């Protein structure tokens, strides 16, 4: 999805919910649309050049999460990282570095993703569970920390 399309999608979603798409919120969505993985409030604060105070950032993140635009990922030391929700970013999985805590997104090649989906269906059958969504999270060492 192009960035301007993305902003339009978000705008629409927020309008539906009577939530204002203010300058601060635009900045957050825009920054997250340009990065590879989830960012914490502090990381976001750096990325956007201290343009928005932390407290306002936290409030924007909370609003965007409640509106279903962002998804939180809980990290160590009580740090929460956010990324665009799946309906905006597309389906992907996470590589979490146990060394530095960085989270990278991977979009699997179709043959991999179909095997994951197949496993998920099979597990659902075994466990009498109706799968709606899945996430394969892999912990390990990223290229930088290996």
Question: Judged by CB, which is closer to a second copy: 12, or 118?
Answer: 118
Distance CA 31, CA 10 (A): 14
CA proximity to 96, closest of 120, 119, 79: 79
Q: How far is the CB of 83 from DNA (least distance, A)?
A: 14
CB atoms within 10 A of CB 25: 23
**CA angle at residue 38 from 32 to 39, to 5 degrees?**
75
Q: How far is the CB of 39 from DNA (least distance, A)?
A: 10
Residue of 13, 25, 64, 69 that binds DNA (CB under 7 A): 25
Stretch of 30-38, 73-81, 126-134, 136-144 contacting DNA, by CB under 7 A: 73-81
Distances, alpha carbon 109 to alpha carbons 1, 91, 114, in Å: 18, 11, 9
Per the structure block, which two tokens stand in for 85? 């929700």
Q: How far is the CB of 76 from DNA (least distance, A)?
A: 8
Question: Judged by CB, which is closer to DNA: 75, or 131?
Answer: 75
Residue 129 in contact with a second copy, rule: CB under 8 A: yes
Provide the CB-side half-sphere exposure for 30 (13 A, CA). 11
Which parts of this chain interact with a second copy (CB under 8 A)? 72, 74-80, 93, 95, 97-98, 104, 106, 108-109, 112, 115-116, 119-120, 122-124, 126-143, 146
């Amino acid at each position: 999805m192009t960035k301007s399309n993305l902003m339009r999608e978000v705008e629409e979603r927020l309008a539906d919910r009577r939530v204002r798409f203010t300058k601060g919120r635009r900045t957050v969505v825009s920054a997250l649309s340009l990065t590879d993985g989830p960012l914490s409030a502090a990381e976001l604060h750096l990325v956007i050049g201290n343009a928005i105070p932390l407290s306002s950032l936290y409030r924007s993140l909370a609003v965007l999460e409640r509106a279903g635009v962002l998804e939180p990922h809980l990290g160590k030391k009580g740090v929460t990282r956010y990324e665009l929700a799946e309906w905006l970013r597309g389906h992907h999985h996470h590589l979490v570095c146990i060394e530095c805590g960085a989270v990278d997104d991977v979009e699997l090649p179709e043959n991999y993703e179909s095997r994951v989906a197949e496993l998920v269906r099979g597990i659902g059958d075994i466990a009498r569970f109706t799968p709606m969504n899945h996430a394969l999270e892999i912990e390990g060492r990223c290229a930088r920390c290996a």
